Structure 1
Amino acid sequence: MSERHAVAVIGCGVFGAVAALRLAERGYRVTVFERNREPLSGASFNNQNRLHLGFHYPRDPATAEQCIRGYQKFRDEFAECVTADFPNGYFIAEEGSAVTAREYLDFCDSVGLRYRLVEPSRYSPPVTGVTLGLRTQEAVIDCRHLRDVLGRRLAGSSATMRFGTEVRAVETRGDTYTVETHEGAAGSFDSVVNCSFADINRLSRQLGHEAPDRQYEYTAVYVVDWDHPPVGVTVMDGPFTTLLPFGRSGRFLLYHVEHSVLDRVTQQVAPARWREPAAGGLLDRAAVERGFRRVLRDATRFVPALRTARLRDVLHGPRVVLANRNDTDARPSMVGSPGPGYLTVFSGKLDHSVWAADEVVRQVDPRAMSRAQPAGQA
């Protein structure tokens, strides 16, 4: 690959970082633009850190199969960032679950997921209000360690890193793209890989590409101190709670499908007010504490021992999912090419980043990217 083929990667979350490394390894001249001061400072860090194996998607086997595909690839690439030495259980709620215990077991068997049945009352901690318990091999990602690892790899690569640089616009000029930042023009590029997550549609619209409605959510994941060994508890399948270890910190992440969503809209682009969430009242101390109490109240329905959990911090930020998918809860990862030389990476699963980066490389290759025939759109 000629060094003259220049690629702009917008966003240095895990998807942008891994894609940039793959492209740089293959001789592309890569420039990464990230509005924050270090990699993995946005949605890649402010999430549940779950290393998805597929158990979360009984109503959409296609998403589950993507998770199975991504799980081992990520573990092979970032083994030192994965924590798996804790019991991790999935449970079906007695009331309000979208799937029954039998349907859930049939789903697990149909996609080849391995599990061991557990008696919820004998799990540690005991789980109540559920009809089924499974011990799984799912793990979590230590995102602090992952950020350090990717930072070192990027620093040792040929990629040019532009941290603290917000991309305001992308324009086409003939066969090249011009990237405009808050500091002005930042150069011309043969290809652009848009990994900006919540900002994908805003930049795509500037280029005249379709920007379908997405469901944007501003979420809070609560970091708690709790006097218990590392353990995972996920209650399925509906508006329930997840408890997971916060990497190797000794703390836990507590999340609720509904109560952790501080704001939600379905539209083409993310709300501008989310850029300053504190100013909008989303994250004042009183609001954070109210949200935590709601989440904890629901969590103790299933894990009574969590009554002693204490709020330590909150991870917050926007996330994006497909709109109007509540019936199936489909959460696919997609690498698309809305136009020649322009790629978008749409995903909320950190562990899909390795196979997605390989797909980015395949599509950026000029031999696979016909400028006369776009490759499809995410």
Structure 2
Amino acid sequence: MSEAGGVAVVGCGVFGAVAALRLAEEGYRVTVFERNRQPLAQASFNNQNRLHLGFHYPRDRTTAEQCIRGYERFRKEFSECVVTDFPNGYFVAEEDSAVTPQEYLDFCDGVGLTYELVEPARYSPPVTGVSLGMLTEEAVIDCAHLRDMLVRRLDASPATVRFGTDVEAVEARGEQFAVRTADGVAGVFDAVVNCTFSDTNRLTRQLGLPAPDRQYEYTAVFVVDWDHPPVGVTVMDGKFTTLLPFGRSGKFLLYHVEHSVLERVTADLAPSAWRDPDFGTLDRTGLEARFGRVLEGATRFVPSLRTARLHDVLHGPRVVLARRDDTDARPSMVESPGPGYITVFSGKLDHSVWAGDEVVRMVRAHTAAR
């Protein structure tokens, strides 16, 4: 690396934090820019916290295999943050599922997933309206614990982290990049790693690089109180519900593929209003009405959930590949659209370890070629 340079990592969700730590371990001088006041403040925290093993993607083997690849590496790296002491069941709906029970079993066997068949009516809680049930070894991530761990690791690392600093632009300057914030040019770097997720294309377009359309979704994951021991219920494969423990909090996360999406836009950029961390599309009355629809969809399969009570909501933008409804493909991608400029695109927290390795490999290849 040149004396004037270093590596800028934009975004300090789990992918930005892990990439920064890995780069710093390799001897690179790293500066992290995060517009929020703490790491994991948006998409990394505002999700289902599922530690994916691949069960969720029977229509896209690539995504499933990436999940299998990432699962054990994440568990090893962040074992303290992984919650495994609960039954976690997957079920195939009797109606409107995109896969049949046999297709789902064939998929699980084909990618080498381990499971135990279970009678849905004997599961706790009993699950209705499904034709197949299985116990899995999937876990969840306690994101509050993960955030604390990453804060400690970043504090102990040589990386410089600038919280509350919004990157307004990235400009090419010959073989280097100027990172501009509201205060002006914050530094000139030899490489930039864009881990902003929903804001990736904005910076990419500024560099004159291709920025393909994405499907942007503003979602609400509901935090609920429910008088039941920790348990997971995921109904496949369509516009159904997921219930998972909210880390070790004693509460649950309730999500519905359709009703939890408050807005959906397919474009090259997300709506600019979504960049505001305080942005919300529903007032309390609207939020409770939306929760009612999510709960109605959930009790179709888990009748005992009718006693669940709304506690809080995790809301924010997420991004998936556009026009993939036929396969539900959700791969993670670490790419270099231009020399020295790397983008990380993923909604799977447990892919962050291998993605960090890919970032290091790409930065090393770029700096070695200079």
TM interval, shorter chain, is: over 0.9
Alignment match, 1:75 = 75
Alignment match, 2:264 = 264
1:275 CA drift (Å): 3.2
Q: 1: CA distance between counterparts of 2:241 and 2:3?
A: 49
Alignment match, 1:100 = 100
Q: 2: CA distance between counterparts of 1:176 and 1:330?
A: 34
Deviations 1:227-271, CA, capped at 9 Å, x for gaps? 000000000000000000000000000000000000000000110
Q: State the AA in 2 paired with 1:138.
A: E
Asked if the contact 2:241–2:257 (Cα under 8 Å) also holds between the matched residues in 1, the reply is: yes
Q: 2: CA distance between counterparts of 1:327 and 1:349?
A: 20
Q: 1: CA distance between counterparts of 2:277 and 2:198?
A: 14
Q: State the AA in 2 paired with 1:275.
A: R
Q: 1: CA distance between counterparts of 2:41 and 2:366?
A: 34
Q: State the AA in 1 paired with 2:11.
A: G
> In 2 relative to 1, CA 302–369 (structure 1 residues): closer, same or farther, beyond 3 Å?
farther
Alignment match, 2:317 = 318
Q: 2: CA distance between counterparts of 1:282 and 1:4?
A: 43
> In 2 relative to 1, CA 49–299 (structure 1 residues): closer, same or farther, beyond 3 Å?
same
Alignment match, 2:35 = 35
Alignment match, 1:238 = 238
Give the alignment of 1:1-378 within 5 angstroms: 5-276=5-276, 282-366=281-365, 370=369
1:278 CA drift (Å): 6.5
> In 2 relative to 1, CA 237–368 (structure 1 residues): closer, same or farther, beyond 3 Å?
farther
Match of 1:212, SS state, is coil
Asked if the contact 1:4–1:29 (Cα under 8 Å) also holds between the matched residues in 2, the reply is: no
- Stretch deviating more after TM superposition (3-12 or 189-198): 3-12
Match of 2:317, SS state, is strand
Asked if the contact 2:12–2:33 (Cα under 8 Å) also holds between the matched residues in 1, the reply is: yes
Asked if the contact 2:4–2:189 (Cα under 8 Å) also holds between the matched residues in 1, the reply is: no
Asked if the contact 2:16–2:195 (Cα under 8 Å) also holds between the matched residues in 1, the reply is: yes
Match of 2:220, SS state, is strand
Match of 1:134, SS state, is strand
Q: State the AA in 2 paired with 1:297.
A: E
Q: How many residue pairs end up in the alignment?
A: 370
1:366 CA drift (Å): 4.0
Using the aligned pairs only, state the percent identity: 76
Structure 2, unaligned stretches of length 5 or more? none
> In 2 relative to 1, CA 57–3 (structure 1 residues): closer, same or farther, beyond 3 Å?
farther
Match of 2:287, SS state, is helix
1:369 CA drift (Å): 6.2
Deviations 1:331-374, CA, capped at 9 Å, x for gaps? 00000000000000000000000000000000001467646xxx
Match of 1:365, SS state, is helix
Match of 1:294, SS state, is helix
Asked if the contact 1:363–1:369 (Cα under 8 Å) also holds between the matched residues in 2, the reply is: no
